[in-house]
C-alpha cells in the first residue's frame, strides 16, 4: 500500500498546477500550491502515508461532519432535522437564495454553510463549551490531544465572514436559529479553523469506517446510526457542487474543505486523509480528487 | 377641496375592512384598522384635511425618500449610484435573492430595504449625527420642530430586524456597505420610526411638488434635480410591488410605508399625506390607495 | 430644431463605437454599426430629421407598445390585465424564472417577451387577421400604407425563436395562454419584423403625444386612456433593464428594440424616432440613448 | 419472505389514506388510492409478492433510469454527460429556473424532466426506433415480451405536456438539444407511459442488483459500469426532492414515478417493485416509501 500511495502522489501532483488556492482569507492564499499528501489508516491499526502527509492545514468544511455528529449525539435525530434538511442542493455552499424561495427557511442540509451554522446553534453551552465538544470528539477520534485551532485563521474568518453572518441573521429572522448570532459564529469559525495533518484526518475516517468504534480499543465512541447518517450526507453532499460527479467517479463517502483537505473512507476497511490546497473550480482539492479517483478504481472502493 | 376630501374619506373607509395591519412588530399591530385620514397642502399654503388626519404614525419606508435626498445632497449623484441601482424590481422589498444572483451585489434601487440601508451607509458622521441630518430635513420640510422618532417602535424594529441585518451583512461582504453594520442599522431603524401626522407628510410632499423650495419662504431647501430623482423613484418603485399598477391607476409620485402612511404629490400643485394602517397584500394602505385613485381621477392628477 | 438634431447626431455618433450589434439573428448582425439617425414629428405637423433618418430597420420590441394598444382596444383593460401584469421587473426581458417562482405564472408586464406573447394571444382572429390588426394600426398612425414586415427577419426569428417558444408553452401549461402556440408565435415574430424608418416611428410617437388623435385630421384613433396606459409602461418598463436609469436621465416615455430603434415622445409636443443599431449591454441603442439624454436636457422634456 | 411482505403490506396500507393521487392527467387520477403492492425478485430466481402486486401502472419517471442506460450504452459516458449533468438539485423535478440561472443551460442530472428529455434526445433513430430501444431493454430485463405502453396515458401526457415542451425548447435554444422537439417528446411521453406490474419492476431491479446480468442466463445485458452509474443517480436523485431523506432512512438505490411505482434494489440480493398510487407531497408513493423503510430496517439493506 505504501508504494501504491507513493505512486499516486507522483502521478497526480501535476494536477495541482491547474488548481487555485482559496482566496477568501489571506491565510489560505499563502501556501505552496504544489503540496499533495495522503494518509490511510486501516481498521487493523496500520498507517500508510505519502507525499506531504505531515503538512498542517485547517479542516474548514470538513468539520461540518464532526459538528453534525456532536449535534446528533446531543439532541437526537428528530430534533436536529427540525432545523436542517436532508436534501442535496444544486446551489453553491454559501448560497442564500433557497432560504428565501423555499419556506420554511430551513437550510437544505448540514453540509452547506447555512446548515452547518444551524447545526452549531443546536449544541448547548457557552461558546467555549460548545467548541470544546467538537474539538474533543476530534481529539478522541484521532487519539491526538495536541489538536487545536489556528487562531490566525480563526481571526481572519471572523473578520471576513459577513456572508456567514448574513446567512445566520436570515435564519434567525425565521426562527431557524435562536440565541446570540456572534456566539454561534465564534463556534462556527473556530471549528473551521481546527488544524490537523492528513494522518489525523485518516484516523477520523477510520473511526467512521469502523462504524463509530475506536480502532485502538473498539470502544463505541459514536453510535453507528449517527455515523451512518454522516456517511450518507458525505455521499450526497460532501464534495460541494461536485458531489454527484464524485459519487459516480469515486463512490465513497468524502467531505472536502477549502483548506484543501479531504476526509474519506472505505467502509470496514480504512480511513483516508488527503491534503492538496490547490482547488478546482468547485472548491475541492484538484489533486486530491484525482488521487482518490484512481485509488478507488484500482482498489474497487466504490459502494455502488 | 375640504368637502371633496371629506367625501373621499366617507366613501373609502369601507375598504379598510379588507386590509390587514402590519404584523412584523407588535407596535404596528395594536392599532385601529378603520383609521383613514388625508391632508393636502397646497403650494399657496392652504391646508385641507379630513378623517383621522391628526393620527400619529411612523413613516417606515416613506423615510427612504428623505434619506435618499440627504445622501444625494451630501455625496452627489454619481457617488450614490455607485452603491445603489436605479432600476425597479419585481421582487419583494425585503428580498435578498437578487443580491446573490446579480453581480455586483448592488441593491436594485434605494426604495427597497437593501437599497435604503446602502443609502443610509453613505451618510457621514456618528449614528446620532446621521440620524439628525435626516430628521432635520424632515423638520425643515414640514416646519415642525417637534417631530421625533417613536422609541418603542425603534426598539421593536431593532430587536426583530434580523432580515435587515442579513441584507446589510450580505452587502458588507461584497463591499457595497462599509463600516459598522449595527451603527448603520441604528440609523436605518430610527429613521423608519420617525413619527408624523398626515399633515406633516402633506407638507413634505408640498416641498417636493414645489421642486425643493419651501412653501413659506420659497427658499431652495433641496436642489430641484435631486427632488426630481426622488420623484422618479416614487413613480417607478414607490408603492412596493404595486408601483406599476399605481402608476397606471393613479399616476402621481408616491411612497408608502407599512405604518399605513402614503406620501404623494401633484407637481406644481400640492403635497398629499394619507394615513390608513390597514394594508393590502402588497403592503400599501388599502383605503389610502383607493382614496388616491379616486382623487387622481377626479382632479386628473396623473402625470402620464 | 433641424440644426439641433444635426448637432446631436454629430456629437453622439462616436458612442456607436462602444456598442455591439444584436447577434441573435444574422439579419441584425449584418449592419453598419455607425448608423445613427433621428426624426421628430411635431403635433403641428412639422418634421425634423438628421443623420441616417431614412435607414430601414425592424421594430422588434417597439411593436409591443402597439400590440398592447390593439389588445386593449379589442378586449378592454380588465380582460387584458387578467393575463398580464402591470409591474416592472428586475429580470431580463427574455427571462423565464419569474413564471416559475411567482404564482400564478402571469408575466409581470406586457413589455417583456412573455408578456407580449400573452398580449398577442388575446387578439382574436386567424394569424393573418391578427397580424393585420397590428400593422394596420401602425399604418394609420404613420399614414404610411407601404409599411410591411421583413420576411427574412421574420423567418430568422421564427427559426431561432425557441426561447420564446419555451416562454409560450410554459404559460400555456398554466392557462395564461390558450390556443395554438405556433400561431401566436407567427403573429409575434411577424409584428417584431415590421420594417420602418425613424420618420415612421416619430409619427407613431406623435399620435401618442397627441393622446391618440391623428395629427392630420385630429381623429381619435386610439382612446386617450389606452394611450396613457401605453405611455406609463414605456416609462416604467420601456428600456429593458435600464428603464429606471432612463426615467432618471431622460424622463420621457420611450420603448426600444434590439433592431436599434427607439420610439419616444414629449407629451403634447412631438413624437421621436431614433435609429442606431449599435446596442449597449442592456440592449438599447447606445448612441440613441445618449442622443435622447442630451435632447431631453436641452429642451427640458422630462415629465418628472 | 412471503410472510414478511404480507405483514408489511398489512401494516402500511393505512398510510395510503394520507396521500393524494397525481392529478396532472386524468388517467392517473381515476385510480383506487388504497392500492399497495410489492414484489421481490431474488438473484436466485425466486419471486415473492404481496398485496396488489398484479396491479398495472405506468412507469412514469422510473423509465428515466432505463433511458439513461440506453443512452449510455449507445453514446458512451463522456458524450452523454456533455449534455446532462451529474449533480443532485434542490429544485423540483419539473423546474426550469436553473436552466436560466446556471450557464451553460445543461440540466443538472438525468433524473429530472429536463435531464431526461435531453437524454432521450441523444438516442438515435426515428421516434419509433428510439422508443423501441427503450421498451426492448425493459422487455429483456423483465423477460416479459408483452410489455407495452398505455396509449391513453400517452395521449394525455402529450396533450397536457406543455411544461415539458417549454423545458425542451429552452434547451434547444441553448444547443443542449438538437433536432425535432415534438419527436423527442413523443419518445419521452411514450416511455413514461410504459405499463408494468410490480413484478416487472422487481425483475428490472434484479438485473441491476446483478450488475447488469440477466438472472436466467447470466448474460451481461448491460455493462456493469453503466448499471453502477444508474444506481448512483438513484441514490443521489431517485426520489425527487426526498432523495436525501430516502438515502438516510432507507439507503438503497430507488427511483419513483408519479404513477405510484418505485423501482428499488438490494445489491447482490434482489430487485424490488412497489406500487402505491397515493403520493406524498414530494410525489413519491406514500405507502411505498414507508414499506421500503421498514423492509430496509428489518433486513439491514442500507448500503451506507
- Using CB atoms within 10 Å of the CB of residue A280, give its burial: 0 to 12 exposed, 13 to 18 middle, 19+ buried: buried
Question: What positions of C carry a catalytic annotation?
Answer: 61, 64, 188, 240, 258
Peptide bond into C104 cis (omega under 30): yes
C-alpha A121/C-alpha A83 separation (Å) is 10
Say whether A258 is catalytic.
yes
E strand or H helix that includes residue B92: none
Over residues D182-188, the mean pLDDT reads 98
Task: Grade residue B174 by pLDDT with cuts at 50, 70 and 90.
Answer: very high
Render pLDDT for C59-103 as a digit per residue (tens, 0 to 9): 999 999 999 999 999 999 999 999 999 999 989 889 999 999 888
Choose, from D64, D98, D133, D231, the residue flagged as catalytic.
D64
Inter-CA distances, D287 with B27, D2, D35, D126, D260, Å:
48, 18, 9, 39, 9
Interface test with A, best of B92, B169, B188 (most A CBs within 10 A): B169
Please give the distance of CA C140 from its chain centroid, rounded to a whole number. 16
pLDDT at C102: 87
C-alpha C178/C-alpha D178 separation (Å) is 27
Render pLDDT for B207-262 as a digit per residue (tens, 0 to 9): 999 999 999 999 999 999 999 999 999 999 999 999 999 999 999 999 999 999 99
Over residues A43-56, the mean pLDDT reads 97
> ipTM of this model?
0.94
Please give the distance of CA C255 from its chain centroid, rounded to a whole number. 5
pLDDT at B198: 98
Q: What is the largest CA-CA distance in chain B?
A: 54
Choose, from A39, A53, A55, A61, the residue flagged as catalytic.
A61
Q: Among C290, C239, C197, C226, which Cα is nearest to C70's?
A: C226
Higher pLDDT, D105 or B205: B205
Interface contact flag, A235 D304, Cβ < 8 Å: yes
pLDDT at D26: 81
Lowest-pLDDT choice from A29-38, A286-295, C26-35: C26-35
Interface contact flag, B170 A96, Cβ < 8 Å: yes
CB A207 within 8 A of CB A43: no
Angle at A259 between CA A253 and CA A263, to 5 degrees: 20
Q: Which chains touch B (3 or more CB pairs under 8 A)?
A: A, C
pLDDT at B200: 98
Say how many C-beta atoms besides its own lie within 10 A of residue B15's C-beta.
19
pLDDT at A136: 98
Interface contact flag, B97 A95, Cβ < 8 Å: no
C-alpha C114/C-alpha C105 separation (Å) is 10
pLDDT at D154: 97
Instruction: Tell me B68's DSSP state.
Output: H
pLDDT at A104: 85
Percent of chain D whose predicted confidence (pLDDT) is above 70: 100
Choose, from D55, D240, D285, D289, the residue flagged as catalytic.
D240
Peptide bond into B104 cis (omega under 30): yes
Task: Grade residue B23 by pLDDT with cuts at 50, 70 and 90.
Answer: confident
Contacts of A109 (CB under 8 A, 6+ apart): A84, A85, A86, A87, A88, A89, A115, A233, A236, A237, D244
pLDDT at C58: 97
Over residues A52-61, the mean pLDDT reads 98
Render pLDDT for A246-289 as a digit per residue (tens, 0 to 9): 999 999 999 999 999 999 999 999 999 999 999 999 999 999 99
Angle at D236 between CA D176 and CA D120, to 5 degrees: 30
Instruction: Tell me B213's DSSP state.
Output: B
Render pLDDT for C193-221 as a digit per residue (tens, 0 to 9): 999 999 999 999 999 999 999 999 999 99
Say whether A55 is catalytic.
no
Render pLDDT for A143-190 as a digit per residue (tens, 0 to 9): 999 999 999 999 999 999 999 999 999 999 999 999 999 999 999 999
Strands in D57-58's sheet, in edge-to-edge order, are D57-58, D194-196, D148-149
Alpha-helical runs (H) found in D19-62: 26-29
Q: Which chain A positions have a beta carbon within 8 Å of B94's beta carbon?
A: none
Render pLDDT for A199-228 as a digit per residue (tens, 0 to 9): 999 999 999 999 999 999 999 999 999 999
CB D88 within 8 A of CB A236: yes
Q: What is the largest CA-CA distance in chain C?
A: 54
SS (H, E, C) chain C: CHHHHHHHHHHHHHHHHHCECCCCCHHHHCCCCCCCEEEEEECCCCEEEEECCCCCEECHHHHHHHHHHHHHHHHCHHHHHHHCCCCCCCCCCCCCHHHHHCCCCCCCCCCCHHHHHHHHHCCCCCHHHHHHHHHHHHHHHHCCCCCEECHHHHHHHHHHCHHHHHHHHHHHHCCCCCCCHHHHHHHHHHHHCEEECHHHHHHHHHHHHCCCECCCCCCECCCHHHHHHHHHHHHHHCCHHHHHHHHHHCCCCEEECCCCEEEEEECCCEEEEEECCCECCCCCEHHHHHHHHHHHHHHCCCCC
- C85 CA to chain D: closest CA distance, Å? 20
Choose, from B48, B53, B55, B64, the residue flagged as catalytic.
B64
pLDDT at D155: 96
Residues comprising chain D, all counted: 304
Q: Where are the beta strands (DSSP E) in chain A?
A: 37-42, 47-51, 57-58, 148-149, 194-196, 254-256, 261-266, 270-275
Over residues C103-116, the mean pLDDT reads 94
Interface contact flag, C95 D100, Cβ < 8 Å: yes
Task: Grade residue B11 by pLDDT with cuts at 50, 70 and 90.
Answer: very high
Please give the distance of CA A148 from its chain centroid, rounded to a whole number. 16
pLDDT at D259: 96
pTM of the complete model: 0.95
Over residues B10-34, the mean pLDDT reads 91
Q: What are A's interface residues with D at a Cβ cutoff of 8 A?
A: 85-91, 98, 102, 108-109, 228-229, 231-233, 235-237, 241-245, 247-248, 251, 253, 267, 302-304
Q: Which structural domains are found in chain D, ordered by start?
A: 2-60+196-298 (3.40.710.10), 61-192 (3.40.710.10)
pLDDT at A24: 78
| Backbone φ, ψ for residue A19 (5° rounding) | -100, 175
Over residues D252-268, the mean pLDDT reads 98
pLDDT of A23 higher than 90: no
Q: Is the dihedral of CA B250, B252, B253, B254 positive or negative?
A: negative
Angle at C192 between CA C189 and CA C198, to 5 degrees: 165
> What mean pLDDT is reported for chain C?
96
Interface contact flag, D100 C101, Cβ < 8 Å: no
E strand or H helix that includes residue D215: none
Interface test with C, best of D93, D165, D171 (most C CBs within 10 A): D165
Out of C98, C228, C248, closest to residue B232 by CB: C248
**A-D Cβ pairs (cutoff 8 Å, strict):** 97
Give the gyration radius of chain B's Cα atoms.
18
Strands in A254-256's sheet, in edge-to-edge order, are A47-51, A37-42, A270-275, A261-266, A254-256
- Residues A65-79: b if buried by 16+ CB within 10 A, e if exposed: bbbbbbbbbebeeee
C-alpha C256/C-alpha D280 separation (Å) is 48
Render pLDDT for A63-83 as a digit per residue (tens, 0 to 9): 999 999 999 999 999 999 999
Say whether A64 is catalytic.
yes
pLDDT of B71 higher than 90: yes
Render pLDDT for A84-124 as a digit per residue (tens, 0 to 9): 999 999 898 899 999 998 888 899 999 999 999 999 999 99
> What mean pLDDT is reported for chain B?
96
Interface test with A, best of B92, B158, B165 (most A CBs within 10 A): B165
E strand or H helix that includes residue D249: helix D243-249
Q: Which chain A positions have a beta carbon within 8 Å of D242's beta carbon?
A: 87
Q: Is the dihedral of CA B137, B141, B143, B148 positive or negative?
A: negative
pLDDT of C52 higher than 90: yes
| Backbone φ, ψ for residue D194 (5° rounding) | -65, 135
Q: Which chain B positions have a beta carbon within 8 Å of A100's beta carbon?
A: 95-97
Quick one: residue C125, left, alpha or beta (phi over 0 = left, psi -120 to 50 = alpha)?
Answer: left
Say how many C-beta atoms besides its own lie within 10 A of residue C126's C-beta.
11
C-alpha B184/C-alpha B131 separation (Å) is 10
Percent of chain C whose predicted confidence (pLDDT) is above 70: 100
pLDDT at B50: 98
Q: Which chain C positions have a beta carbon within 8 Å of B253's beta carbon?
A: 304
Interface test with A, best of B90, B167, B170, B188 (most A CBs within 10 A): B170
Interface contact flag, A304 D89, Cβ < 8 Å: no
| Secondary structure of residue A281 in the 3-state scheme | coil
pLDDT at C105: 87
Amino acid at each position: 500500500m505504501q508504494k501504491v500511495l507513493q505512486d499516486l502522489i507522483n502521478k497526480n501532483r501535476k494536477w495541482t498546477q491547474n488548481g487555485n488556492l482559496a482566496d477568501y482569507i489571506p491565510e489560505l492564499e499563502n501556501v505552496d500550491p504544489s503540496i499533495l499528501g495522503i494518509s490511510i489508516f486501516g481498521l487493523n491499526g496500520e498507517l500508510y502515508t505519502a507525499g506531504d502527509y505531515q503538512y498542517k492545514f485547517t479542516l474548514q468544511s470538513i468539520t461540518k461532519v464532526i459538528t453534525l455528529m456532536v449535534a446528533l449525539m446531543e439532541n437526537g435525530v428528530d430534533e436536529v432535522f427540525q432545523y436542517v434538511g436532508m436534501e442535496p442542493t444544486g446551489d453553491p455552499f454559501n448560497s442564500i437564495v433557497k432560504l428565501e424561495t423555499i419556506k420554511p427557511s430551513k437550510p437544505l442540509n448540514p453540509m452547506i454553510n447555512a446548515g452547518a451554522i444551524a447545526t452549531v446553534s443546536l449544541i448547548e453551552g457557552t461558546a467555549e463549551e460548545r467548541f470544546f465538544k467538537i474539538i474533543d470528539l476530534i481529539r478522541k477520534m484521532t487519539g491526538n490531544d495536541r489538536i487545536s485551532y489556528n487562531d490566525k485563521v480563526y481571526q481572519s474568518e471572523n473578520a471576513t465572514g459577513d456572508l456567514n453572518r448574513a446567512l445566520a441573521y436570515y435564519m434567525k429572522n425565521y426562527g431557524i436559529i435562536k440565541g446570540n448570532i456572534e456566539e454561534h459564529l465564534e463556534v462556527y469559525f473556530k471549528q473551521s479553523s481546527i488544524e490537523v495533518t492528513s494522518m489525523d484526518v485518516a484516523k477520523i475516517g477510520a473511526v467512521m469506517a469502523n462504524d463509530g468504534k475506536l480502532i485502538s480499543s473498539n470502544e463505541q465512541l459514536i453510535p453507528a446510526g449517527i455515523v451512518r447518517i454522516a456517511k450518507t450526507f458525505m455521499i450526497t453532499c460532501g464534495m460541494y457542487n461536485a458531489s454527484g460527479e464524485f459519487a459516480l467517479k469515486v463512490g465513497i463517502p468524502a467531505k472536502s474543505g477549502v483548506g484543501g483537505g479531504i476526509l474519506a473512507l472505505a467502509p470496514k476497511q480504512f480511513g483516508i486523509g488527503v491534503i492538496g490546497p490547490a482547488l478546482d473550480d468547485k472548491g475541492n482539492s484538484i489533486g486530491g480528487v484525482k488521487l482518490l479517483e484512481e485509488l478507488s478504481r484500482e482498489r474497487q472502493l466504490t459502494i455502488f
